Chains A and B, each alone.
Chain A
Amino acid sequence: MTSADLPLPGTRTQVNVSQTEPEIIEVAQATPRFEDSGGAGARRLRNDLARVVMWSAFGLAMIPLVWILWTVASSGIELLTQSVWWTNSQRNITASVRGGGAVHAIQGTLIQGLVTAVISVPIGVLSAIYLVEYGRGRLAKGVSFMVDILSGVPSIVAALFVYAVWVTTFGFQRVGFAVCLALVLLMIPVIVRSTEEMLKLVPNEVREASYALGVPKWVTISRVVLPTAFSGIVTGVLLGLARVMGETAPLLILGPYTKNIATNLFSGYMPTLPTMINQDRTETGLEPAVERMWAAALTLILLVLVLNLAGRLIARFGSVRT
Chain B
Amino acid sequence: MAKRIDIKDLDAYYGTFKAVEGVTMTVEPCSVTAFIGPSGCGKSTVLRTLNRMHEVTRGGRIEGKVLLDGEDLYSAGRDPVTVRRTVGMVFQRPNPFPTMSIYDNVVAGLRLNGVKDKKVLDAAAEASLRGANLWKEVKDRLAKPGAGLSGGQQQRLCIARAIAVRPQVLLMDEPCSALDPISTLAIEDLIEELKSEYTIVIVTHNMQQAARVSDRTAFFNLAATGKPGRLVEIGDTATIFSTPKQKATEDYISGRFG
Residues of A near any B CB (own CB < 8 A) = 136, 203, 205-206, 208-216, 219-220, 223-224, 227-228, 230, 320-322
Mark contacts of B69-104 with chain A using CB atoms, 8 A cut-off: 1 yes-contact digit, 0 otherwise: 000000000000111111011010101111100000
CA distance A120 to B56 in the complex (A): 31
Instruction: Chain B residues near A210: list those with CB within 8 A.
Output: 97, 108, 112
CA distance A217 to B146 in the complex (A): 22
Residue contact B91 to A208, C-beta cutoff 8 Å: yes
Residues of B1-34 whose CB lies within 8 A of A:
none
Residue contact A213 to B112, C-beta cutoff 8 Å: yes
How close is B22's CB to chain A, nearest CB, in angstroms? 26
Contact of A322 among B84, B91, B112, B147 (CB under 8 A): B147
Q: Which of B56, B58, B158 has the most CB of A within 10 A?
A: B56
For chain B, which range describes its interface: under 10, 10 to 19, 20 to 34, or 35 or more residues? 20 to 34
Q: With A208-B53, A227-B99, A228-B99 in contact, do A213 and B85 touch (Cβ < 8 Å)?
A: yes
- A-B residue pairs, 10 tightest by C-beta: A214-B85, A213-B109, A212-B89, A214-B84, A205-B95, A320-B98, A209-B95, A215-B112, A227-B99, A216-B81
Residue contact B158 to A209, C-beta cutoff 8 Å: yes
Q: With A209-B95, A213-B165, A320-B98 in contact, do A219 and B53 touch (Cβ < 8 Å)?
A: no
How close is B66's CB to chain A, nearest CB, in angstroms? 16
Instruction: Chain B residues near A136: list those with CB within 8 A.
Output: 58
CA distance A100 to B162 in the complex (A): 65
Residue contact A322 to B148, C-beta cutoff 8 Å: yes
Given contacts A212-B53, A214-B86, A214-B113, 6 further A-B contacts (CB under 8 A): A205-B93, A209-B91, A212-B88, A213-B165, A224-B108, A322-B148
Residues of B near any A CB (own CB < 8 A) = 51, 53, 56, 58, 81-86, 88-89, 91, 93, 95-99, 108-109, 112-113, 145, 147-148, 158, 161-162, 165
- Listed by A's residue number, 16 A-B pairs whose Cβ atoms lie within 8 Å are A203-B95, A210-B97, A210-B108, A211-B84, A212-B84, A213-B84, A213-B161, A214-B82, A214-B109, A215-B113, A216-B81, A219-B112, A228-B97, A228-B98, A320-B99, A322-B98
How close is A211's CB to chain B, nearest CB, in angstroms? 6
CB-CB nearest in chain A for B96: A209
CB-CB nearest in chain B for A320: B98
Q: Which of A211, A212, A224, A230 has the most CB of B within 10 A?
A: A212
Residue contact A212 to B162, C-beta cutoff 8 Å: yes
CB-CB nearest in chain A for B56: A211
Instruction: Chain B residues near A320: list those with CB within 8 A.
Output: 98-99, 147
CA distance A216 to B85 in the complex (A): 10
CA distance A209 to B86 in the complex (A): 15
Instruction: Chain B residues near A203: list those with CB within 8 A.
Output: 95
Instruction: Chain A residues near B86: list those with CB within 8 A.
Output: 214
CA distance A215 to B162 in the complex (A): 12
CA distance A212 to B161 in the complex (A): 10
Residue contact B109 to A215, C-beta cutoff 8 Å: yes
How close is B54's CB to chain A, nearest CB, in angstroms? 11
Instruction: Chain B residues near A223: list those with CB within 8 A.
Output: 112
Residue contact A212 to B112, C-beta cutoff 8 Å: no
Instruction: Chain B residues near A215: list those with CB within 8 A.
Output: 81, 108-109, 112-113
Instruction: Chain A residues near B158: list those with CB within 8 A.
Output: 209
Q: Which of B93, B109, B158 has the most CB of A within 10 A?
A: B109
How close is A71's CB to chain B, nearest CB, in angstroms? 44
Q: With A215-B113, A219-B112 in contact, do A208 and B95 touch (Cβ < 8 Å)?
A: yes
CB-CB nearest in chain B for A229: B99
CB-CB nearest in chain B for A211: B56
Instruction: Chain B residues near A213: list those with CB within 8 A.
Output: 84-85, 88, 108-109, 112-113, 161-162, 165
CA distance A216 to B109 in the complex (A): 11
CA distance A212 to B163 in the complex (A): 11
Instruction: Chain B residues near A209: list those with CB within 8 A.
Output: 91, 95-97, 158, 161
CA distance A293 to B81 in the complex (A): 61
CA distance A223 to B110 in the complex (A): 13
Residue contact A211 to B53, C-beta cutoff 8 Å: yes
Instruction: Chain B residues near A205: list those with CB within 8 A.
Output: 91, 93, 95
Residue contact A208 to B97, C-beta cutoff 8 Å: no
Residue contact A214 to B165, C-beta cutoff 8 Å: yes
Contact of B91 among A212, A214, A224 (CB under 8 A): A212
How close is B254's CB to chain A, nearest CB, in angstroms? 35
CB-CB nearest in chain B for A321: B145
Instruction: Chain A residues near B85: list those with CB within 8 A.
Output: 213-214
Instruction: Chain A residues near B82: list those with CB within 8 A.
Output: 214
Instruction: Chain A residues near B108: list those with CB within 8 A.
Output: 210, 213, 215, 224
